[in-house]
Amino acid sequence: MNKNISSPPHKIIGVAVIWNDKQQILIDRRRPEGSMGGLWEFPGGKIEPGETIEECIKREIDEELAIDIEIGEHLVTIDHTYTDLKVTLTVHECKHLKGVPQTLECDEIRWVNLEQLEEFNFPDANFQIIASLKEKVGNRKQLNIQNPI
């Protein structure tokens, strides 16, 4: 057995699907430098020691976008391996409470409808988030539920 083969680093990431009152979702574009630069994403970040996923999401959204959110239901957890990184994305639907999103750690911010998400280039792992959102929203429509979270 070859002991020189190492697996890529593993990051546990809290991710927010943030809905506003217009039934739009907040996405942001990563800065061009760094991993997956220029791609769009749902905001969030790495969990810190001793932190819950919900605490991580609230902290990251405050640090990256300077807005207040309410953490809602767990949407999906995704394990994905890129060539240089393994990620576990724990995704919660969230509600925008107050503040205007700022581009503190990203290049651009957009509020988009669910149908518009396909127009943006996301990292591979994010496509499972979009699929989960479409399934959940479709189920809500069948049950005639208006509020996303």
With H, G, I as helix, E, B as strand and everything else as coil, classify residue 102.
coil
Of 111, 96, 85, 103, which is closest to residue 149 (Cα–Cα)?
96
Determine whether the annotation assigns residue 43 to a binding site: yes
Determine whether the annotation assigns residue 126 to a binding site: yes
Of 141, 20, 15, which is closest to residue 76 (Cα–Cα)?
15
Determine whether the annotation assigns residue 45 to a binding site: no
Determine whether the annotation assigns residue 41 to a binding site: yes
Q: Are 117 and 109 in contact (CB under 8 A)?
A: no
Determine whether the annotation assigns residue 121 to a binding site: no
Determine whether the annotation assigns residue 42 to a binding site: yes
Determine whether the annotation assigns residue 31 to a binding site: no
Residue 69 phi/psi, 5° resolution?
A: -130, 160
Binding-site members are 30, 41-44, 64, 126
Q: Pick out the residues of the known binding site for Mg(2+).
A: 44, 64
Please report, in range form, the residues annotated as the binding site for 8-oxo-dGTP: 30, 41-44, 126
